[in-house]
């Protein structure tokens, strides 16, 4: 890649129509007629053939250009596939000629047979010193371009952010999903092994299949959302919750002794049992949950989850709507 400046073959001078473009373009707005006359005296109309590359990355801009007719395109890549801007009649380009080191960061190419007003960098600086309004106009143009660039970047990032959110969240309940749970619960339990206690709850909706059979999946979905909301209400902001699968949920309570975790589990169980849940078009129904609870086992997710799941099964076998707790030292205990 060379370092020579852009090549602009000489063409005819400015026409009356060109003068109107110069007079109305944003770069020269608000200038007195005498200053505009100076612009047209130091600038020269140039023709640019379609496909001509005016400048490439690392080449210096030698002129500030105003598009008189036609169109210029700016690209990030040599193959001209990644377009970032287009410049049409009245737009200016090449401000790098008077700002910074003057080097281009883009490929600028004529999209059509194009004519531009080219003002040499030194002459343009002299114009700005003579008429500071030009510098203010240039600042406004650059600010607008920066705002547009930031908006486009955010728009490009939002789908990525949404994709990442969907990859870690359950779309039905809004809780985190099993994938997120496996990673984050495991990390928190490893920290608990070294620094502080933790407890893991596995929560299951009692007779959920019967709800689906009686009311259909729409009723079951409403119930799942309601349980997800109850979980959010009952636990602390720093607690970790996830929908594991189907009607099963997991909640990890960091920095929590087993007795305190049991109190929290009982609070959730009691609230679900005491408050009818929405199931269809304003219709509500009573619902209960069974909960298995385990303290951390060796700071590892798999054995801790297995113990909590086994405690959950014991709660169901004992009649449901209860909390069963597994303790490494004391085995399992159940309460309703």
Residues belonging to the chain: 336
Q: Per DSSP, what are the bridge partners of residue 200?
A: 252, 294
Q: Would you tell me the crossing angle of helices 132-168 and 121-130 to the nearest 10 degrees?
A: 110
What is d(CA 26, CA 64) in angstroms, rounded to the nearest whole number?
14
Nearest CA among 45, 160, 64, 162 for reference residue 104: 64
**Tokens standing for residue 246:** 């189907």
What is d(CA 210, CA 121) in angstroms, rounded to the nearest whole number?
79
| Whether 27 contacts 137, CB under 8 Å | yes
Phi, psi dihedral angles at 324 (to 5 degrees) = -115, 130
What is d(CA 325, CA 303) in angstroms, rounded to the nearest whole number?
14
User: Choosing from 101, 247, 263, 317, which is the catalytic residue?
Assistant: 247
- Terminal-to-terminal C-alpha distance of the chain: 77
Q: Would you tell me the crossing angle of helices 121-130 and 33-42 to the nearest 10 degrees?
A: 170
Task: Decide if 247 is catalytic.
Answer: yes
What is d(CA 15, CA 11) in angstroms, rounded to the nearest whole number?
12
What is d(CA 329, CA 294) in angstroms, rounded to the nearest whole number?
11
As annotated, the active-site residues are: 247
């Amino acid at each position: 890649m060379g370092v020579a400046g852009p090549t602009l073959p000489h063409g005819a001078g400015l026409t009356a129509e060109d003068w109107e473009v110069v007079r109305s373009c944003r770069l020269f707005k608000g200038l007195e007629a005498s200053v505009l006359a100076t612009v047209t005296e130091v600038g020269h109309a140039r023709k640019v053939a379609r496909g001509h590359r005016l400048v490439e990355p690392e080449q210096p801009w030698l002129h500030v250009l105003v598009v008189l007719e036609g169109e210029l395109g700016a690209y990030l890549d040599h193959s001209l596939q990644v377009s970032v801007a287009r410049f049409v009649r009245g737009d200016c380009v090449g401000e790098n000629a008077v700002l910074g080191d003057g080097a281009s960061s883009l490929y600028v190419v004529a999209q059509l047979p194009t004519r531009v007003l080219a003002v040499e960098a030194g002459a343009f600086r002299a114009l700005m010193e003579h008429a500071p309004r030009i510098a203010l106009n240039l600042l406004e143009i650059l600010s607008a371009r920066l705002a547009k660039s930031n908006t486009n970047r955010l728009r490009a990032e939002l789908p990525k952010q949404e994709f990442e959110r969907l990859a870690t969240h359950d779309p039905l309940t809004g809780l985190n999903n099993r994938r997120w749970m496996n990673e984050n619960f495991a990390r928190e339990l490893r920290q608990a092994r070294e620094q502080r206690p933790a407890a893991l709850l596995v929560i299951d909706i009692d007779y959920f299949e019967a709800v689906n059979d009686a009311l259909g999946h729409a009723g079951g979905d409403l119930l799942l959302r309601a349980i997800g909301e109850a979980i959010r209400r009952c636990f602390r902001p720093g607690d970790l919750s996830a929908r594991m699968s189907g009607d099963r949920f997991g909640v990890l309570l960091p920095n929590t002794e087993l007795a305190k975790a049991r109190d929290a589990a009982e609070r959730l169980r009691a609230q679900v049992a005491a408050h009818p849940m929405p199931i269809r078009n304003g219709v509500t129904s009573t619902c209960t949950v069974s909960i298995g609870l385990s303290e951390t086992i060796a700071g590892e997710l798999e054995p801790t989850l297995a113990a909590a799941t086994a405690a959950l099964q014991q709660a169901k076998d004992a009649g449901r709507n209860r909390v069963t707790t597994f303790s490494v030292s004391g085995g399992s205990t159940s309460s309703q």
